[in-house]
Structures are given as C-alpha cells and as structure tokens.
Amino acid sequence: MKGMGNMQKMMKQMQKMQKDMQKAQEELAEKTVEGTAGGGMVTVVVNGQKQVIDVNIKEDVVDPEDIEMLQDLVLAATNDALKQMDDLTNNTMGQFTKGLNIPGL
C-alpha cells in the first residue's frame, strides 16, 4: 500500500499547486504595465486581463497632419504594454510549470 501514500502525497501537492496558481492569477489580474512609444510621447496602460485601461498622448504630439504617426505610436505603445504583460504572466505562471510537461498548460 506504499503506492497509495505516494499518490495521496502527489494529489496534495497538485492541489497546493492549483491553489498557488489561482492566487498568482488573481494577483496578475490586479497588476498593470505601461507601454511607451516615441520616447514617452504616447503611453498605454494594460491590466492583467490584457485590457487597455489608459492612453496618454502628450499635447505637443497632436498635429493634425501627423495623425498617421500618432496612430502608429499608439499601436506601438499598446503592443509594448501587451508584450510586457505577457512577459509578466509567463514569468509568474512559469514557476508552476517548470520541469513539467503537461499538455494544455
């Protein structure tokens, strides 16, 4: 019956890992990152659920003739913020899957 004890221990470890992962996901949901473009002329803030929650454009950037440049800066800042959130998520959640080969995680 020694195998049953190991199985129970493994199940407890999996349950603890699951709780720790859930806590980490909840903490990530509350975090924000800021992406920038144009040397800080445009900033975009993204939350842990990958929602853009703020866009800030410095006044001296807005020139009606440069609207395409402004659109490119907003796009670049948004992508920068989303990449930072992906990196933060991967770094946070990666600690739980290190060394594990679990399909779907």
The string of pLDDT tens digits covering residues 30-68 is 888 899 888 888 888 988 888 888 888 887 776 767 778
| Residue 85, domain member (yes or no) | yes
| Residue 86, domain member (yes or no) | yes
Question: What local confidence, expressed as pLDDT, does residue 67 receive?
Answer: 77
Count of helices and strands (H, E) across the chain: 2, 3
The pTM assigned to this predicted structure is 0.61
Q: Which residue has the tokens 């699951």?
A: 18
Q: Which domain holds residue 69?
A: 31-96
Contact 38, 62 (CB under 8 A): no
Counted domains in the chain: 1
| Residue 62, domain member (yes or no) | yes
| Residue 38, domain member (yes or no) | yes
Question: What local confidence, expressed as pLDDT, does residue 59 receive?
Answer: 77
| Residue 69, domain member (yes or no) | yes
| Residue 16, domain member (yes or no) | no
The mean pLDDT value for 12-26 works out to 88
At 82, is the pLDDT very low, low, confident or very high (cuts 50, 70, 90)? confident
Question: What local confidence, expressed as pLDDT, does residue 96 receive?
Answer: 76
Query: Alpha-carbon distance 39 to 78, whole Å?
Result: 14
Q: What share of the chain is helix, strand, coil (3-state, %, to 5)?
A: 65, 15, 20
Query: Alpha-carbon distance 30 to 3, whole Å?
Result: 41
| Residue 42, domain member (yes or no) | yes
Torsion angle in degrees (nearest 10) through CA of 48, 54, 60, 61 = 60
CATH of the domain at 89: 3.30.1310.10
At 69, is the pLDDT very low, low, confident or very high (cuts 50, 70, 90)? confident
* Whole-number CA gyration radius for the chain: 21
| Residue 104, domain member (yes or no) | no
